[in-house]
Structure 1
Amino acid sequence: MTHFAYRPWHDGPDPLAPPVDLRAALDQIGRDVMDGSSPRAAMEELLRQGVRDTRGLDDMTRRLWQQRARLQRRHRLDGTLQEVQRLLDEALEAEKRHLFPDPSDDARFREAQLDALPPGTAAAVRELANYDWQSPQARENYQKIQDLLGQELMESRFRGMKQALQNATPQDVERVREMMSDLNDLLAAHARGDADTQQRFEQFMRKHGEFFPENPRDVEELIDALAARAAAAQRMMNSMSAEQRAELGSLIQQAFGDPRLAAEVSKLDAYLQSLRPGEDWTSSGRFRGQNPFGMGEGVQAMEDLAEMDALAEQLGQAYPGARLEDIDLEALERQLGQEAAVDARRLSELERALRDQGLLERAADGTLRLSPKAMRRLGETALKDVVKSLSNRRGERDTARAGAAGEPTGSSRLWQFGDTEPWEVSRTVRNAVLRSAGAGGAVTLDVKDVEVIETEQRARAAVALCVDTSWSMVQDGRWLPMKRTALALHHLVQTRFRGDALELITFGRYAAKVDMAELTAMEGVWEQGTNLHHALLLAGRHIRRQPDAQPVVIVVTDGEPTAHLEPDGDAEFNYPPLPRTLRLTLTEVDKLARLGASVSVFMLGEDERLKAFVDIMARRSGGRVVAPDLDGLGAAVVSDYLRNRQR
């Protein structure tokens, strides 16, 4: 029997998550590419915006900035100062209550000492360091001040120390001070470059490893962890007012009632700054809320701010060589929750899948481009959209009825050696029955009985699709519909009418033959000129190279011809168009008509001069003029191609 083991899922990709939707992602990238974006920019835009059920990088960045602003808007950094002031007030009040009923001179002298305390909190705490408290409650409160300062000071340099030092005994404090002294000795040896630094590090970790749950493997990792925390503590101090900074700096000298501990911390900070000058030791943040943070919480807040800034840079992907694998998923989960980490992981998988499945490839010049596989998928999508528009039309050719042998004529003939047409089964069996009936035996098939279906060779078409790429097509929002139309027609020819010869011709100031990938990635360029003359000249050359094919010429344009090609190869532009430009263009129309090609013009826009000119073209070539809206352009062009093939 097969046995299965079930265990909880803790980390890594969700095994039950649906696969990434590459088709939707590719469609979105394709639209952006055809609209003028580079494939890299289109993919980056996809990752920024996200896909269905997966939030994009922009959404995560926005939430990060909101979290950052909320942290600074709701909190302030003087929590330790306020707590010390509260404990001090309670201690003084308890001491005075205890002294009030005592009639002795000593009690009056003590009251005078308390009344003469300096006004600042830090100065008062320092002044009371050697005061002999009479009230047990007051003595306890003052001890709480020293313990609190010690805990906050240690928490500001070692995460988790505040909790570990709750109810610390003098022996615990001495162990902490000894650890700090040994740590500074280790960093000093490392700074000098002593050869036995690693050995000293291992001895240090064996002795004081309980203080370092990160379990660093060497001195460098230890310094990295300590420097990041110490730099955050310095940024927290920088974020306080000058008065608050001075008060807190003076108060921490009373940490655990042992000034040596503060001295060791100061020495540690000096070593760390010299060893890691690249850490941010100088910046600050503005906290303006009502919820006070203690020193440890303030340092953690500064670390969170730095982590959010680093995540925002990673999510922005604006630096050279940026990849989604750079995003720290653990940090993202800490700041935005598990769902954000899942979304980032899925975007990374999507980016990797687009590359691994061959949908994006690198050209010889190092640029990223859509692969032929991606172009086929985009063409399939574009053609599906066109088919939906054609689904309610009648009388169009059934493009699924394609066969290399040709189309059936409805009749049959006896098979001859070399015939590859399919058998006419019913007539073949009839011949065998009639031949065998006279013999009175079993019905058998003979070669002489076989009849095959007569077919006629399907007509090939030589198709020249001439698309206007002048700036007006971009300016008036016709760029993307034009490309999708060309993509749909190209995919139809490549998949259903493979014998047809399709040539894509673009025309602006000049005309040029392009392949589908070039047209898809083409960006709009501002230039003057609609050189239909040059485009029809190239179309005529294409048709002459296919003498046995039905010629089909399709023109998509939004402006009358304003440029023509001179014999020396230069284009001459003029607006309004020169009579020579119109004459040369119509001459090419006449040449195409003599080759049997009618020119179908798909006119975009409402220009009256264009209407008049394309009407002349249609009359002289026996073609037609169609004025579709942008949504119906693809369906109109494909329908005209099928109509011309049928003719």
Structure 2
Amino acid sequence: MSYRYGEYRDGPDPLAPPYDVRSALDQMGDSVLSGSNPAHALRDLLRQGLPGARDRRGLDDLLREVRRRRRELRERGRLDGTLERARALLDRALEQERAALFPDPSDEARLLEAELDGLPEDTASAIRELTDYRWRSQEARRTFEELRDLLRREVLDSQFRGMRQALADPDPEVMERVRRMMSDLNDMLDRDSRGEHTQADFDDFMSKYGDMFPETPRNLEELVDILARRAAATQRLLASLTPDQREELADLMSQTLEQAGLDQEMRRLGEALHNRRPDLAWNTPERLTGEDPMGMGDAVTALDELADLTQLEAALRQDYPGARLDDIDEAAIRRALGRSAVDDLEALRQVERELEQQGYLRRQRGKLELTPKAVRRLGETALRRVFASLDAGHHGDHDQTDAGSAGELTGSSRPWRFGDEQPIDVVRTVVNAVRRGGGGAGAVTLSVDDFEVAETERRTAAAVCLLVDLSYSMALRGTWAAAKQTALALQALVGSKFPQDSVQIIGFSNYARVLAPDELAGLEWDMVQGTNLHHALLIAGRHLDRHPDFEPVVLVVTDGEPTAHLRRNGSAAFEWPPTSETLELTLAEVDKMTRRRATLNVFMLADDERLRDFVNEVARRNGGRVFSSSADRLGEYVVSDFLRTRRAR
């Protein structure tokens, strides 16, 4: 026996490793750290495609394919091809008939010529007048029959895709089978409207007439969807023609169906389809710009695909509130772009699902948020960025996987208590288990009471306050993203290297508020006027007062002087240029910080004379330092200053 191996072609590779959702989160993190909110970051990820995923297209790639396909369809041809061809066949039949009548000198020949000369101008009326005409020319008779066969095929093909081939041979038995099919279809729809339809009824219908439906629907709903979309496309074809063309083609269709004995059943079917799918664009005109005339069936197919692509384009844009990938119709993707596009869409959906299922994203009241788990990872990413820019030779804050997070060991140990972060004393823990009698048969069984921890020197704890300006000017100057990244980095630094510290991040614009750690990633600047540093310092002072034994650390990030303060009634007062009352109240809070022995360091993000005067006064009163930092080095400055302060203590 011999075997041949090749590329797997029936969908995604079943042996491919699962996609690492963390890389998707990191890519989202880049957008968040650049100032985006989680919803926009996820949208950007899905638009760009999956990082590291081979040949996996994003929504933008699929959108480009859809738009390219729409252009191709629009440029394919003209919608009046059936009218043009019908007119050409009619003219040819009339010329052939006149050629046969011209040599005949009889009065009957002249009467027939007069009858031909008196035919109406429009094609439909002329064909109706010629229905009972006695043709002298056999060639003309065959051409006229060819015209009627053409109309029958095109009209039915416009309603039932693929009917053109079935009607290629004008066999009366074939037309009788079409009539039976339409009657059975309408009866099945009537039974379904009464709640009497079963899947067995549909299967029996398809066993009889399945060859007339190349789409091979699996149930009645799929069949209704196929027929309704095609019927709606036929109505859009009529709406897209000029009024004269519309009237002429509608008359031809009515005449053809009447002669075929299908007019009643077709009218009945059209009403049922419209009632079931009123959401379709039944009378919306569409403009095709091609030069080649298209048959009616081909034109309806093109308009049906264009409607699909229009809806697909709107879903792929994902630019409406609450947009999700589940809104994109997989069947429409398959029809328009093929199986590979379905696989690409499923890969994107899997990432969106995994981010939620693995606890990185959550939806609260329709709003997408990052969970604390995701915020911690983004904070670590922000911290790595900051450390990457620091001078490695001057700081001891490098990753070290074999070190503990407590102080220096004292050499003694004590029983473990819940919440202890000191390292486990393995030797004493095992000895306690053996003494208790937990050893036997070469194994030691540990109990909670056996554990002991190694005592470490007491480490000074700090109460850290980071005050971040959220005012509109931060967005205008392009410094908001750096401020958000700095807050995340400081939160991660304190949580990982100084867990005994108590950190509070305060955002301030016209008012100030405490920001929860999991709120930082989705935080956006406030489109309001006012820089209320007075209120922010009040909140920070309360945090320091709640931790009287902690070393106070206060860091302020701002790009403007105070322009607002808090009134006694709790409302904010804004004025620009700032009033003396605003400056006096703010500096009074600075003085309180000084009495608490809290050093207040200010990081300026704008080179403004009034701001410089204010922060210099703060430094004079408090003894803190002033940093004039560019936005791209803000995180480096804040983290370095915090580490310097912690080492000094």
Q: Please give the range of the TM-score, normalised by the shorter of the 2 chains.
A: 0.7 to 0.9
> Which one of the candidate residues 149, 152, 162 is aligned to 2:151?
149
Q: Find out whether 1:395 has 2:397 as its counterpart.
A: no
Cα distance change on mapping 1:102 and 1:239 into 2, 3 Å: same
What corresponds to 1:435 in structure 2? none
Are 1:397 and 1:643, in contact at CA under 8 Å, matched by a contact in 2?
Answer: no
Shift of 1:36: 7.1
In structure 2, C-alpha distance between the alignment counterparts of 1:122 and 1:113, rounded to whole Å = 16
Alignment of 1:188-267 (within 5 A): 193=194, 207-213=208-214, 222-252=223-253, 255=256, 258-262=259-263, 264-267=265-268
Encode CA deviations 1:239-295: one digit per residue, 9 max, x unaligned: 222322333334346649944244543454355446655554433323343121211
Q: Find out whether 1:43 has 2:45 as its counterpart.
A: no
Alignment of 1:217-616 (within 5 A): 222-252=223-253, 255=256, 258-262=259-263, 264-270=265-271, 272-273=273-274, 279-317=280-318, 322-363=323-364, 367-390=367-390, 392=391, 394-400=393-399, 403-407=404-408, 457-546=458-547, 549-564=550-565, 574-579=575-580, 581-593=582-594, 595-616=596-617
What corresponds to 1:643 in structure 2? 644
In structure 2, C-alpha distance between the alignment counterparts of 1:199 and 1:416, rounded to whole Å = 81
In structure 2, C-alpha distance between the alignment counterparts of 1:503 and 1:325, rounded to whole Å = 39
In structure 1, C-alpha distance between the alignment counterparts of 2:310 and 2:211, rounded to whole Å = 31
Cα distance change on mapping 1:109 and 1:13 into 2, 3 Å: same
What corresponds to 2:82 in structure 1? 80
SS at match of 1:554: strand
Shift of 1:498: 1.8
Deviates more, 1:161-170 or 1:148-157: 161-170
What corresponds to 1:129 in structure 2? 131
Shift of 1:573: 5.1
Letter in 2 for 1:299: V
Deviates more, 1:249-258 or 1:610-619: 249-258
In structure 2, C-alpha distance between the alignment counterparts of 1:186 and 1:50, rounded to whole Å = 45
Are 2:468 and 2:507, in contact at CA under 8 Å, matched by a contact in 1?
Answer: yes
Cα distance change on mapping 1:205 and 1:109 into 2, 3 Å: same
SS at match of 1:167: coil
Are 2:76 and 2:292, in contact at CA under 8 Å, matched by a contact in 1?
Answer: yes
In structure 2, C-alpha distance between the alignment counterparts of 1:564 and 1:275, rounded to whole Å = 62
In structure 2, C-alpha distance between the alignment counterparts of 1:202 and 1:418, rounded to whole Å = 77
Shift of 1:459: 4.1
Encode CA deviations 1:177-226: one digit per residue, 9 max, x unaligned: 343455456656777x5969999877655554443455667766655543
Encode CA deviations 1:107-151: one digit per residue, 9 max, x unaligned: 666656555544433344334434454545433322221211111
Shift of 1:160: 0.6
Deviates more, 1:259-268 or 1:350-359: 259-268
In structure 1, C-alpha distance between the alignment counterparts of 2:218 and 2:162, rounded to whole Å = 20
Are 1:88 and 1:145, in contact at CA under 8 Å, matched by a contact in 2?
Answer: yes
In structure 2, C-alpha distance between the alignment counterparts of 1:146 and 1:140, rounded to whole Å = 10
Are 1:87 and 1:141, in contact at CA under 8 Å, matched by a contact in 2?
Answer: yes
Are 2:375 and 2:520, in contact at CA under 8 Å, matched by a contact in 1?
Answer: no
Letter in 1 for 2:385: D
May I ask how many residue pairs the two structures share in their alignment?
A: 608
In structure 2, C-alpha distance between the alignment counterparts of 1:421 and 1:181, rounded to whole Å = 83
Deviates more, 1:293-302 or 1:522-531: 522-531
What corresponds to 1:164 in structure 2? 166
Shift of 1:170: 2.9
Cα distance change on mapping 1:600 and 1:100 into 2, 3 Å: same
In structure 1, C-alpha distance between the alignment counterparts of 2:460 and 2:231, rounded to whole Å = 81
Are 1:35 and 1:523, in contact at CA under 8 Å, matched by a contact in 2?
Answer: no
Deviates more, 1:225-234 or 1:152-161: 225-234
Shift of 1:353: 1.7
What corresponds to 1:441 in structure 2? none
Are 1:465 and 1:503, in contact at CA under 8 Å, matched by a contact in 2?
Answer: yes
In structure 2, C-alpha distance between the alignment counterparts of 1:563 and 1:256, rounded to whole Å = 78
Encode CA deviations 1:481-516: one digit per residue, 9 max, x unaligned: 111101111111111222222222333344443322
Shift of 1:352: 1.1
Encode CA deviations 1:552-606: one digit per residue, 9 max, x unaligned: 3222122233445567766655544455554554454455445544322211111
Are 1:91 and 1:139, in contact at CA under 8 Å, matched by a contact in 2?
Answer: yes
Are 1:72 and 1:286, in contact at CA under 8 Å, matched by a contact in 2?
Answer: yes
In structure 2, C-alpha distance between the alignment counterparts of 1:55 and 1:219, rounded to whole Å = 34
Letter in 2 for 1:395: H
Are 2:79 and 2:288, in contact at CA under 8 Å, matched by a contact in 1?
Answer: yes
In structure 2, C-alpha distance between the alignment counterparts of 1:464 and 1:189, rounded to whole Å = 72
Cα distance change on mapping 1:421 and 1:368 into 2, 3 Å: closer
In structure 2, C-alpha distance between the alignment counterparts of 1:30 and 1:599, rounded to whole Å = 30
Are 2:182 and 2:266, in contact at CA under 8 Å, matched by a contact in 1?
Answer: yes
Letter in 1 for 2:42: M
TM superposition score normalised by structure 1:
0.79
Identical-pair percentage: 50
Letter in 2 for 1:307: D
Cα distance change on mapping 1:323 and 1:69 into 2, 3 Å: same
Shift of 1:156: 1.4
Are 1:315 and 1:327, in contact at CA under 8 Å, matched by a contact in 2?
Answer: yes
Cα distance change on mapping 1:551 and 1:116 into 2, 3 Å: closer
Are 2:11 and 2:339, in contact at CA under 8 Å, matched by a contact in 1?
Answer: no
What corresponds to 2:438 in structure 1? none
Cα distance change on mapping 1:74 and 1:416 into 2, 3 Å: closer
Letter in 2 for 1:474: A
Letter in 1 for 2:173: Q
Encode CA deviations 1:324-381: one digit per residue, 9 max, x unaligned: 1232223223324455434332322221122111111245x66432101110111111
Are 2:155 and 2:296, in contact at CA under 8 Å, matched by a contact in 1?
Answer: yes
Deviates more, 1:335-344 or 1:154-163: 335-344
In structure 2, C-alpha distance between the alignment counterparts of 1:234 and 1:69, rounded to whole Å = 21
What corresponds to 2:445 in structure 1? none
Letter in 2 for 1:385: R
In structure 2, C-alpha distance between the alignment counterparts of 1:112 and 1:295, rounded to whole Å = 32
Cα distance change on mapping 1:358 and 1:122 into 2, 3 Å: same
Unaligned runs of 5+ in 1: 424-452
In structure 2, C-alpha distance between the alignment counterparts of 1:307 and 1:634, rounded to whole Å = 49
SS at match of 1:502: strand
Are 2:544 and 2:552, in contact at CA under 8 Å, matched by a contact in 1?
Answer: yes
